[in-house]
Amino acid sequence: MKYYFSITIFALLFNLILVQALFSQTCILDSIGDKKLSYNQFNKLDMISCETTFYNPYSQGTYYYKFNYNQDTLLESIIYYSINNLGDTIDSPFLFMEYEYSNGLLSKITNVGFGVITDDIVWNNNKIVEFKYYYLANDTIDSTQTRILNFTYINGNVSHSLYKELTGQIFSNDNYQYDNKFNPFYNSEIALLDGNIFIYSSTNNWISSSGNSTRTIIYNQYDYPLIIATNWGNGNYNTETYSYNCISSTQTYQIAGEIELFPNPSNDYIKIRNISNESIKQIKIIDKNGKLIREVNNICEISVRDIKSGLYLIEISFEKIIIRKKIIIYAR
């Protein structure tokens, strides 16, 4: 009976994981307003671009935010640059944002673009509970403007925030209410682009606060926000729009379940057991930086000999579907 109970619990947990995996593959956020998003081989945000008219009417072009990651695929920096329609660089590339980590947890954000440092980040149970804003003046911290923010949580969302100066002057002291729908850019690099730890620390869409701000949200069929209209309660309003590349992941998920990699880890060959009705067209091995390491066509195995030890992505291409899985390679 105990054995049967354990198997039943495992089956329920496994089915829950399957449902979550299926849901997570359904929609990809590909634009925010007029900003276009692209992703790297690890499905991490790679670039945000936006066509615009610059200060000079003859300088219509596109600006870019390029996302760079460290060896653990944690966001390390964001580079900004812009190019006009003639192909000439208008602004030289410069470091816009920089991120630091301690034991895999975010510890510091340097917002070069706006002269702000988010530091002294305190984590508790994988939640950010406190941090400080340091404002820069001529590349030096202006100690008269140092501010601190505290969070408390309910159900994975910031339920209360206290924002004040070190002198004790309070700027805001708010409680927040949320919906029950997941927001795909919270807890992601998109939130960190603005250094917005409040958004980064929450999971769902906040819909009202004790500071008299309210939101009206329209969702798509997957319960992702399409339009967020915010009334800040002080006469100011703004509207954000989101677009998704929505695909039916049922077939993708089914084939992924019919693919088995072995051995994994490996130092010789990675073989693919394919019991689906789809034939494999190509196999690629890609490193953490998105660099192609090796590829083969129309076979079900790939050599990993002479590849450095580490974590890699294996990309298996079928006629219309691409499956990506993580593999571990250890050198002889």
Dmax (CA) of the chain: 77
Q: What is the CATH number of the domain that holds 316?
A: 2.60.40.1930
Name 173's Cβ contacts closer than 8 Å, sequence gap at least 6.
161, 162, 163, 210
Q: Is residue 230 part of a domain?
A: yes
195 and 216 co-located in one domain:
yes
Q: Is residue 290 part of a domain?
A: yes
Q: Is residue 16 part of a domain?
A: no
pLDDT of 9 reads: 37
Among 85, 155, 97, smallest CA distance to 127 is for 155
pLDDT of 56 reads: 58
Q: Is residue 3 part of a domain?
A: no
Q: Tell me the average pLDDT across 113-140.
A: 91
By residue range, what is the domain housing residue 225? 29-246
90 and 179 co-located in one domain:
yes
d(CA 174, CA 310): 45
pLDDT of 294 reads: 92
182 and 146 co-located in one domain:
yes
325 and 181 co-located in one domain:
no
Q: Tell me the average pLDDT across 181-187.
A: 86
190 and 235 co-located in one domain:
yes
pLDDT of 188 reads: 86
The strand pairing partners of 45, in sequence order, are 39
Secondary structure element (H or E) that encloses residue 197, with its range = helix 197-200
Q: Is residue 8 part of a domain?
A: no
Report phi then psi at 298, rounded to 5. 60, 30
pLDDT of 43 reads: 75
Tell me which of 274 and 35 has the higher pLDDT: 35
262 and 241 co-located in one domain:
no
pLDDT of 248 reads: 52
Q: What is the CATH number of the domain that holds 125?
A: 2.40.160
198 and 53 co-located in one domain:
yes
169 and 286 co-located in one domain:
no
End residue of a domain, out of 209, 225, 246 = 246
114 and 81 co-located in one domain:
yes
Q: Is residue 20 part of a domain?
A: no
Q: Is residue 2 part of a domain?
A: no
25-50 residue pLDDT tens: 457 888 999 999 998 877 788 999 99
End residue of a domain, out of 205, 223, 246 = 246
Q: Has residue 244 got a pLDDT over 80?
A: yes
Domain count, the chain: 2
Q: Is residue 24 part of a domain?
A: no
Among 305, 313, 270, smallest CA distance to 288 is for 313
State how far the alpha carbon of 58 is from the alpha carbons of 34, 52, 54, 55, 311, in Å.
20, 11, 8, 9, 47
99 and 189 co-located in one domain:
yes
224 and 151 co-located in one domain:
yes
pLDDT of 201 reads: 92
Q: Tell me the average pLDDT across 210-224.
A: 90
End residue of a domain, out of 183, 213, 246 = 246
d(CA 244, CA 120): 35
36 and 118 co-located in one domain:
yes
Q: Has residue 166 got a pLDDT over 90?
A: no
